[in-house]
Chains A and B, each alone.
Chain A
């Protein structure tokens, strides 16, 4: 067997391992996609556009919030700005994976960036810590594509089922619960806790602002407080050292 074939075999194995590792996470993703489909319809979004979100934006939590805001008739600018803020965490993932993808051709970078979600990032960063990285981008592709396919299919089914999901199940509560699951592991330091607390309290205080602008202000002030708390902690640490 030629060296070239050996290399492609390893690539296939990496890809399939990526697919397999992503499967347990689909337990959370599939119900989430079902609910999104139903929620988008109940927010007055037409079926085609509802799936358009999954196809083109491809970002679960941002899609939920966008559907909610559209249901509340928020302005388009506020919805897009909110999607941007909610998805800014992807820049962190991007920065974190960039060194491992730097050697790849542009098409690979474009594709892997498109598939960069919370779950795919979680799996990929674990893979990159394991070393032997020659074909690791195939792993990242496998894990990303699996999540992508599950999201597309579950959204379509959710749109098809639509309002036949009974509201008494309160499935919409899965959204704040997902944020809870995502936010708790980020509260690893006092500055992060301060950022979260201040943003949360401000969001409550400013909730009557139009178009949910209070959410944006709360988030920006929260990030500022986190940075401030971090620099205070650093100054204290330095004066203690000195």
Chain B
């Protein structure tokens, strides 16, 4: 990709990110937004994060792979268990990485 395009992405990324962070702190008084918007906001993290995450775990070489030989899926399930039980970002990442390394070394 052209260097200028990458800088354009950085500039655009900066503007959209800063606008979301500034939104209610400076730009929009909280009482001005519709209730549907407020209610919808809370579904953005689960929807967006899952949509990014799931293909990373179950797509292997361009196809769906729900088998045990899909190391990333198995390691992801281990990490999900840790995330669910312990609610700790660092331990979740560590457990998933260690699980993947163990599976790859088998």
Select which of B7, B41, B72 is within 8 A of A91 by beta carbon. Answer: B41
A105 CA to B25 CA in the complex, in Å?
A: 11
Does B80 lie within 8 Å of A180, measured CB to CB? Answer: yes
Asked whether A46 is an interface residue with its Cβ less than 8 Å from the other chain, the reply is yes
Contact status of A56 and B53, CB under 8 A, knowing A92-B41, A230-B39: no
Does A110 lie within 8 Å of B45, measured CB to CB? Answer: no
Q: Which of A5-13, A147-155, A158-166, A192-200 contacts B (4 or more CB under 8 A)?
A: A192-200
Contact status of A207 and B23, CB under 8 A, knowing A178-B93, A195-B46: no
Contact status of A110 and B96, CB under 8 A, knowing A91-B41, A92-B41, A227-B40: no
Identity of the chain B residue whose Cβ is nearest the Cβ of A230 in the assembled complex: B39
Contacts of B22 in A (CB 8 A): 94, 109-110, 113
Contact status of A98 and B48, CB under 8 A, knowing A57-B13, A180-B92, A204-B54: no
Contacts of A24 in B (CB 8 A): 90
Select which of A114, A173, A178, A218 is within 8 A of B18 by beta carbon. Answer: A114
Asked whether B16 is an interface residue with its Cβ less than 8 Å from the other chain, the reply is yes
Identity of the chain A residue whose Cβ is nearest the Cβ of B87 in the assembled complex: A185
Binary B-proximity of A63-98 (CB < 8 A = 1, otherwise 0) = 001100010010010011001111111111111011
Does B3 lie within 8 Å of A46, measured CB to CB? Answer: yes
Does A184 lie within 8 Å of B84, measured CB to CB? Answer: yes
Contacts of B1 in A (CB 8 A): 44-45, 70, 73
Contact status of A87 and B17, CB under 8 A, knowing A177-B92, A178-B93: yes
B30 to chain A, nearest CB (A): 6
A175 CA to B96 CA in the complex, in Å?
A: 11
Does A222 lie within 8 Å of B46, measured CB to CB? Answer: yes
Does A204 lie within 8 Å of B79, measured CB to CB? Answer: no
Asked whether B44 is an interface residue with its Cβ less than 8 Å from the other chain, the reply is yes
How many residues in A have their beta carbons less than 8 Å from beta carbons of B? 90
Select which of A88, A91, A94, A112 is within 8 A of B48 by beta carbon. Answer: A88
Contacts of B5 in A (CB 8 A): 76
Asked whether A170 is an interface residue with its Cβ less than 8 Å from the other chain, the reply is yes
Contacts of B80 in A (CB 8 A): 180, 184
A212 to chain B, nearest CB (A): 9
Contacts of B12 in A (CB 8 A): 76, 79-80, 83
| Chain A residues with a Cβ under 8 A of chain B | 24-25, 27-28, 31, 44-46, 49, 52-53, 56-59, 61-62, 65-66, 70, 73, 76, 79-80, 83-95, 97-99, 101, 106, 109-110, 112-114, 116, 169-171, 173-187, 191-193, 195-204, 207, 215, 218-220, 222-223, 225-227, 230
**Known A173-B72, A191-B43, A197-B50; 9 more pairs at CB < 8 Å:** A89-B44, A94-B22, A94-B23, A94-B25, A109-B25, A113-B25, A176-B57, A195-B47, A225-B43
29 residue pairs A–B, Cβ–Cβ below 8 Å:
A45-B1, A49-B6, A57-B13, A59-B13, A66-B9, A76-B5, A80-B12, A84-B16, A86-B48, A91-B20, A91-B24, A95-B30, A97-B24, A98-B30, A113-B22, A113-B26, A179-B52, A180-B53, A181-B79, A182-B49, A183-B46, A184-B80, A186-B45, A192-B46, A197-B50, A199-B47, A202-B51, A203-B51, A225-B43
